Amino acid sequence: MRTLRKAFLAASLAATLSLASTTAWAQGFVPGAALVNPGLSGTTEYDGWVGLTSGNYSGYPGFPGTGSWFAPLAPNQTGSGSAGVFKVSDGSGGGPFPASGSMYFGSFSATINAYGGTLAVADSTPVTGVKNVVLQIQIGEAWTYDFFGRALPTLSYNGGTQALAATSSVVLDRYYNGTVEMPSGLEDVYINTYLIQWDLSSLPSVTSFSISFDGVEHAQLYALQLDQSDEYAPAEIPGLNANGSRSFVLRKSSVLGTQAKPAKDRKAYRGAGRTRQPVVTSKAVTQRTPGS
């Protein structure tokens, strides 16, 4: 009886978290809308994934997500190169898989901050002499966690396991997605958009690289963007403060209107004309470090 009750509660939890994602969509959430053009110079390459869903990527294992993938996820945005999203490993009770509304880190468990599996964004044919790599990740929290243990993605190169920490990172956007009961009481949960950058200019020739990250169980991955170039310079981040933090607004509810972003170098920026949501509140957010 206890086992059945636990399974029922976990299944109810998964349904509730899935409903939360649907609610965010209904309230005006647009996957990928918070991604920015990092303004890289030199020879550049771009790869984009928006809508990591079963509708866009069919044939992969369903809930709870265990099992191998038959192929990596190819980019689905115009102008993309040849990078892919790979499943590295399953989690404690399931694994990441394309669900109806997002890439979902599945599980029947109701454990907070449980390991949900590992994904990697990899490129075996990067820009020649690549020195600058920028990854943006839009991921929804489960019980206030998105990355397992709050550890940010790491980069390895040339088939190695170096797991290099990022040179810099910033939270570009936080989309309010409701509340959840925690041991400390009710807590807000968000869909976070990160920009994470690596300076590879001091390394020997990099002929391939892979960026891996661990999600928590029940996290939801909505979009990824990989930019790279053969010249290093800090990414151009709208609203970045002198101290390295970024002032931004927390957003929720219905669509307020549209705001076009300026065109940039080889492409009219992909975020142009996407919807923006009403202001809830604003605050400065400092760089997030692993384990914080």
Q: Which residue has the higher pLDDT, 267 or 46?
A: 46
Instruction: Give the pLDDT score at 24.
Output: 52
Average pLDDT for residues 172-177, to the nearest whole number?
95
Residue 5 has pLDDT above 90, yes or no: no
Does any domain span residue 63? yes
In a domain, 130, yes or no: yes
pLDDT of residue 273: 29
Mean pLDDT value across residues 211-237: 97
Per-residue pLDDT tens over the stretch 32-60:
999 999 999 999 999 999 999 999 999 99
Return the pLDDT at 239.
Answer: 72
Our count of domains for the chain comes to 1
* Whole-number percent of the chain with pLDDT over 70: 73
Residue 292 located in a structural domain: no
E strand segments, the chain: 44-50, 84-90, 96-98, 103-105, 115-123, 132-140, 154-157, 168-182, 185-199, 209-216, 220-229, 246-251, 257-258, 275-276, 279-285
E runs forming strands in 200-263: 209-216, 220-229, 246-251, 257-258
In-domain check, residue 127: yes
Whether 216 is covered by a domain: the verdict is yes
pLDDT, greater one: 119 or 182: 119
Instruction: Report whether pLDDT(243) > 70.
Output: no
Range in 63-72, 237-246, 273-282 with the lowest mean pLDDT? 273-282
- Report the pLDDT value the prediction gives residue 184, as an integer from 0 to 100: 86
CA distance linking residue 220 with residue 96, whole number of Å: 9
Q: What is the CA radius of gyration of the chain?
A: 18
Q: Give the residue carrying structure tokens 């997605």.
A: 177
- Local confidence band at 292 (pLDDT 50, 70, 90 cut-offs): very low
Which of 77-91, 157-171, 187-201, 263-277 is predicted least confidently? 263-277
Is it the case that residue 263 has pLDDT exceeding 70? Answer: no
Residue 108 lies in a domain: yes
pLDDT at position 161 over 50: yes
Distance CA 247, CA 157 (A): 33
Is the separation of the CB atoms in 196 and 169 below 8 Å? yes
Is residue 280 over pLDDT 80?
no
Please determine, for residue 91, whether its predicted confidence score (pLDDT) is greater than 50.
Answer: yes
Domain range enclosing 212: 2-285
Q: What is the mean pLDDT of the chain?
A: 81
- pLDDT of 18: 47
CA 21, CA 18: separation in Å to the nearest integer? 5
**Is 110 within the bounds of a domain?**
yes
The pLDDT tens digits for 244-259 are 555 544 444 322 222 2
pLDDT confidence band for 13 (50 / 70 / 90): low
- Residue 211 makes CB contacts below 8 A (sequence gap 6+) with 120, 121, 122, 133, 135, 153, 154, 155, 196, 226
Backbone phi and psi for residue 147, each to the nearest 5 degrees, phi listed first: -80, 140
Domain membership of residue 58 (yes or no) is yes
User: Do the beta carbons of residue 146 and residue 196 sit within 8 Å?
Assistant: no
More confident residue, 170 or 11: 170
Q: Angle 93-98-104 (CA atoms, 0-180°, nearest 5)?
A: 45
The span from the CA of 117 to the CA of 113, in Å, is 12
Question: What is the mean pLDDT of the segment spanning 76-89?
Answer: 98
pLDDT value of residue 28? 83
Predicted confidence (pLDDT) per residue in 92-140, tens digit: 999 999 999 999 999 999 999 999 999 999 999 999 999 999 999 999 9
User: Could you count the other beta carbons within 10 Å of the beta carbon of residue 171?
Assistant: 18
Please check the confidence at residue 236 and state whether its pLDDT lies above 90. Answer: yes
